Amino acid sequence: MELSKRLARVQPSATLSINAKAQQLRREGVRVVNFAVGEPDFDTPAHVKQAAVQALHFDRTRYTPVSGIPELKQAVCDWIRDFYGLNYSPSSVLVSCGGKHAIYNVLQAILNPGDEVIIPAPYWVSYPEMVALCDGVPVIVDCDFEKDYKLTPALLENAITDKTRLVILNSPSNPTGCYYDRDELVELVAVLNKHPHVTVLSDDIYSHILFNNRKWVNVAMVDETMLPRTVIIQAVSKTYAMTGWRIGFAVGPEEIISAASTVQSQSTSNPCSIAQWAAIAALRGDQTCVARMAEEFENRCQYLVERLRQIPGVKCVEPQGAFYAFPDVSAFYGKKYDGIVVRNSVEMAEYLIDKANVAVVPGSAFGNDRCIRLSFALSWNELEEGLNRIDTALKALR
């Protein structure tokens, strides 16, 4: 059967397929250490689960307004005010089925065929594919290891054309953990101020998982003139260990939010009613669970990076947030095992799963073939065991 031509430009999610392979091996009884996970290994807080149970008891089980219940939209505004120091009204908020869905709705709402979207690489796997699905043109900008994989003002300036509609910033980043501090954002905004036709999609979904006492900041916070052309993406997924509940938000100029709501109204309608009530409990409830989780990720991060850097040939930027490390393993490319040469990140991931039963995601999925992505949303035992296996496997390559 002939399928849509649009789909020919889109790859299936590599992270989901590696995870599936790891799960299959586990079902076969193999002890796999899965560094490919993209979600916190903590339980959703008890008070959030309780709110969902209560929502069921109160029969909050019908359609809700397409863009979310007013109580949740107000909770998002209050949460953003407290955390960002920015004031939004509920009409600036769209509640979607996860941050991913929120991004997709916004892209559908603002992109015309041929519009360019600047995506610094390494990037989150879905950005270029979603842009392509919306008939936009992903403009990938390679960022250097030496600059902690961050977009510099010069790289940004170089990438902007008359057709640029959007630039996507993701801090702290999946997959590198890189974080833009205030000074770096001020410099990027100085470039953006010369190009008022460019809007920023600020994917902030790891904002609450920050290390080394970093303070939260994004483009709109360093310069409020950016507010009319910044769309913030947030979600309860990573911050409150609620990946399966599928609640995320787009927050920004009313015109864009209203258009994105129209997209949602003709595709999914409202996100799950019960999950929306649970999200209110997450945003308004006790926040100590968030700090505890971030502290635990920071400790694991230190251990992981230290162990990786002890392996001769591995280079790794120190993550400043989120729960991923992105080591450069390209020094091992060209080396062999059982007569087979490992030539790139996909073959490295295959080698590690086949020979060491360790699942990682190839860096090529994130636009950098020199690296592999390791999540540290794993128990300490698994972290230690997995790193022992990686250490042995890499040293076995000749």
Taking CB under 6 A as the rule, does residue 202 contact ligand PLP? Answer: no
Footprint of ligand PLP on residues 12-41 (CB under 6 A)? 38
What is the nearest approach in angstroms of ligand PLP to the Cβ of residue 23?
A: 17
Q: Exposed, middle or buried, 39 (CB in 10 Å: 0-12/13-18/19+)?
A: middle
Q: Is 44 in the site for ligand PLP (CB under 6 A)?
A: no
CB of 347 to ligand PLP, least distance (A): 24
Q: Are 129 and 11 in contact (CB under 8 A)?
A: yes
CA distance 303 to 297: 10
CB of 140 to ligand PLP, least distance (A): 16
Single-letter residue type at 258: S
- In the region spanning residues 139 to 178, those forming contacts with ligand PLP, defined by CB under 6 A, are 170, 174
- Cβ–Cβ < 8 Å for 396, 337: yes
- Our CA dihedral for 67, 10, 145, 35, rounded to 10 degrees, sits at 80
- Of 116, 148, 184, 203, the one binding ligand PLP (CB under 6 A) is 203
Q: Decide: 278 and 48 in contact? Cβ < 8 Å.
A: yes
Among 68, 98, 363, 367, binds ligand PLP (CB under 6 A): 98
Distance CA 275, CA 52 (A): 7
Q: Which is nearer to ligand PLP, 98 or 362 (CB)?
A: 98
Q: Of 251 and 356, which has the nearer Cβ to ligand PLP?
A: 251
- Burial class (CB within 10 angstroms; exposed 0-12, middle 13-18, buried 19+) of 253: middle
Residue 218 is a binding residue for ligand PLP (CB under 6 A): no
Alpha helices (H) in 266-398, listed in sequence order = 273-284, 288-309, 345-356, 380-396
Q: Whose CB is nearest to ligand PLP?
A: 98
Q: Select 122 or 332, whichever has its Cβ closest to ligand PLP.
A: 122
CA-closest candidate to residue 139, choices 123, 118, 122: 118
Residue choice 40, 45, 68, 99 for contact with ligand PLP (CB under 6 A): 99
Taking the alpha carbons at both ends of the chain, their separation in whole angstroms is 46
The piece of 96-104, 178-186, 340-348, 376-384 that touches ligand PLP (CB under 6 A) is 96-104
CB of 239 to ligand PLP, least distance (A): 10
| Residue 232, Cβ density class (10 Å: 0-12 exposed, 13-18 middle, ≥19 buried) | buried
Q: Smallest distance, Å, CB 102 to ligand PLP?
A: 8
The binding track of 228-247 with respect to ligand PLP, each residue x by CB under 6 A or -, is -------x-x-----x----
Place of tokens 């299959």: 24
Indicate the pairing of strand 199-203 with strand 230-235.
parallel
User: What single letter denotes the amino acid at residue 158?
Assistant: N
Segment near ligand PLP (CB under 6 A), from 19-27, 29-37, 93-101, 211-219? Answer: 93-101
119 interacts with ligand PLP by CB under 6 A: no
DSSP annotation of 3: P
- Where does this chain bind ligand PLP (CB under 6 A)? 38, 98-100, 124, 170, 174, 203, 205, 235, 237, 243, 248
